[in-house]
């Protein structure tokens, strides 16, 4: 399988992070979230977080304005403008030279969205805490409820975009020529249930790789070699840059993009609107079943 190789590991082990804190200035960001209870992640952060970790909210900080269903609807968690997210990054104290580590409590999907968006902004010095907050606690480290002091910076300066995206129209024209990967749970992919969007099913031609398939039993990512084998089987002859990732609303798809980077496969594209945007347009085709 042809692929673009990336040698940089986008993950950091909890023990390594713990050893580095105090020696290096690191911006820590906690993106924990619950789609069924949008306030749950922030409540959990208030009850205990890594020392110095700021809270980042999926809907306030990592999403743009959500339009009502109809023409122009771009999904449940549309990307903000790059200018808006540049201002958000600056508000969290992130500049081009800053080291950033992101995390969550749900196995990494929300941290992966934040990782992807910082890379999309052009920031390369960002890592995901492998195993999240549970892995931090497993080292014997503790959480704090103390205040977090931040020195805001100006908006992140414009840089070349490094994480490609695809629109719904572009994707519809490309069906059959790209490997389309859906990160949702199998029952949602098949269309057995649909708890969040108005139509059940999946985009024709897509393959299902639930984001949790990227994790080992301990909640950390599988080894690079295992992920490389699994994605080689999934992608077949398609190169990584001919792969499009989607999910319900462009969040958990970032977990598969992160896993591909761990595997040394760079260049996959994100369909940000994902199923929530696609299924809202009755003119777009829908498939059901396995």
One-letter-per-residue 3-state SS of 28-77: EEECCCCCCCCCHHHHHHHHCECCCCEECCHHHHCCCCCCCCCCCCCCCC
**Exposure of 90 by Cβ count < 10 A (0-12 exposed, 13-18 middle, 19+ buried)?**
middle
HSE toward the beta carbon, residue 116, CA cutoff 13 A: 35
* Distance from chain centroid for Cα 96: 20
Query: Exactly one of 135, 185, 247, 259 is catalytic; which is it?
Result: 247
Any residues with CB less than 8 A from the CB of 56 and at least 6 apart, and which? 29, 30, 31, 62, 92, 102, 114
Tell me if residue 247 is catalytic: yes
What is the set of active-site residues?
A: 247
């Amino acid at each position: 399988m042809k692929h673009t190789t990336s040698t940089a590991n986008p993950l950091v082990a909890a023990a390594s992070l713990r050893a580095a804190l105090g020696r290096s200035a690191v911006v820590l960001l906690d993106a924990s979230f619950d789609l069924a209870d949008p306030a749950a992640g922030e409540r959990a952060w208030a009850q205990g977080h890594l020392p110095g970790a700021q809270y980042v909210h999926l809907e306030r900080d990592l999403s743009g304005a959500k339009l009502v269903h109809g023409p122009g609807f771009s999904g449940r968690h549309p990307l903000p403008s790059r200018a808006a997210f540049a201002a958000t990054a600056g508000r969290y104290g992130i500049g081009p030279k800053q080291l950033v580590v992101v995390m969550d409590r749900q196995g990494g999907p929300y941290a992966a969205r934040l990782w992807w968006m910082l890379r999309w902004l052009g920031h390369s010095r960002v890592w995901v805490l492998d195993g999240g907050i549970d892995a931090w606690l497993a080292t014997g480290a503790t959480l704090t409820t103390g205040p977090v002091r931040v020195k805001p910076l100006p908006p992140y300066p414009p840089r070349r975009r490094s994480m490609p995206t695809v629109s719904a129209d572009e994707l519809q024209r490309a069906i059959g020529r790209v490997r389309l990967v859906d990160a949702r749970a199998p029952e949602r992919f098949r269309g057995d249930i649909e708890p969040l969007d108005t139509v059940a099913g999946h985009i024709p031609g897509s393959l299902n790789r639930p984001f949790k398939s990227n994790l080992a039993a301990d909640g950390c990512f599988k080894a690079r070699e295992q992920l490389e084998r699994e994605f080689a089987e999934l992608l077949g002859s398609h190169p990584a840059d001919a792969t499009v990732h989607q999910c319900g609303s462009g969040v958990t798809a970032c977990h598969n993009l992160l896993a591909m980077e761990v595997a040394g496969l760079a260049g996959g594209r994100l369909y940000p609107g994902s199923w929530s945007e696609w299924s809202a347009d009755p003119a777009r085709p829908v498939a059901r079943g396995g």
